[in-house]
């Protein structure tokens, strides 16, 4: 579901492009899973989309990007854009004291990609990662803005406050939905960085650079696929996308596995 926050920005930035969104609801959540397993899932999804004829893939999941992006970029014929590099770049540009916090899933923290990218951009900057296993289930619950979510945010924010960070990367595509809670806990003196706008900008630049963008005069369409319950995806998905979803089709795990074979 979290990737829909990225799709929202892509739809706004690139209204003339067509999008196919595949949400792997049957195997959620990715965050607590081993990196090898996430890598396999991402490979299946990317293979399915490539066979479907897409011209570019966005890995709209931080855990999948952290676990699989380099391997997918080597294997796929179509370009693939992840959500981590744009965030790392934005964080380095934003921080004033070179102390950057990271709130993310366990898999993303374990992969260490943010630290690598930040060090490449600024060897003097430090990243303070905090895994937040409670946040995704709470954000997908019926009360995403309730007291339990606020308490979890305060718990995860405390070590970053103690570290004196002035910039925090929201290293999961779910987290922008509770940005008001996060900003209140951290205060206005801390800048929050998240992937959606930066990723949409990178998608636009990649399409332009490769000369594969659509005519800007046309109106694009979006279709939605899920490995889970289409009705549940539609109901919850509209909250994340902040736009209506007319129809959702189901893709079986067997179809994804066949695409990777």
Mind telling me the catalytic residues? Answer: 61, 172
Beta-ladder partners of 103 = 130, 170
The CA distances from residue 100 to 10, 91, 191, 224, 237, in Å, are: 26, 7, 10, 35, 30
**Which spans in 26-124 are helix H?**
35-51, 62-75, 84-94, 106-111, 113-121
CA–CA gap between residue 141 and residue 184 (Å, rounded): 21
Burial 226-247 (b: 16+ CB within 10 A, else e): bbbebeebbebbeebbeeebee
DSSP 192: E
Non-local CB neighbours of 151 within 8 Å, separated by 6+ positions = none
CA–CA gap between residue 238 and residue 120 (Å, rounded): 37
CA–CA gap between residue 114 and residue 128 (Å, rounded): 10
List the one residue out of 56, 60, 52 whose CA is nearest residue 79: 56
Q: In this structure, are residues 84 and 69 in contact, taking their beta carbons and an 8 Å threshold?
A: yes
Length of the chain: 261
């Amino acid at each position: 579901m979290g990737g829909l926050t990225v799709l929202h920005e892509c739809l706004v930035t690139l209204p003339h492009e067509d999008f196919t969104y595949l949400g792997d609801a049957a195997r959620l959540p990715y965050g607590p899973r081993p990196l090898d397993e996430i890598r396999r899932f991402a490979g299946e999804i990317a293979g399915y989309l490539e066979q479907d004829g897409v011209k570019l893939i966005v890995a709209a999941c931080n855990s999948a990007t952290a676990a699989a992006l380099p391997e997918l970029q080597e294997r796929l014929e179509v370009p693939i854009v992840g959500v981590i590099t744009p965030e790392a770049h934005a964080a380095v540009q934003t921080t004033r004291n070179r102390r950057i916090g990271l709130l993310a899933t366990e898999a993303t923290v374990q992969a260490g990609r943010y630290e690598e990218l930040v060090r490449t951009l600024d060897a003097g900057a430090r990243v303070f990662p905090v895994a937040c296993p409670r946040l995704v289930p709470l954000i997908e619950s019926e009360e995403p803005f309730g007291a339990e979510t606020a308490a979890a945010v305060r718990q995860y924010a405390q070590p970053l406050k103690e570290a004196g960070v002035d910039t925090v990367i929201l290293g999961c595509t779910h987290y922008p939905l509770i940005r008001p809670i996060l900003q209140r806990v951290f205060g206005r003196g801390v800048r929050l960085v998240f992937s959606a706008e930066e990723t949409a900008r990178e998608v636009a630049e990649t399409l332009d650079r490769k000369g594969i963008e659509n005519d800007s005069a046309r109106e694009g369409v979006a279709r939605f696929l899920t490995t889970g319950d289409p009705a549940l995806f539609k109901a919850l998905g509209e909250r994340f996308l902040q736009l209506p979803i007319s129809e959702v089709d189901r893709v079986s795990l067997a179809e994804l596995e066949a695409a990777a074979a």
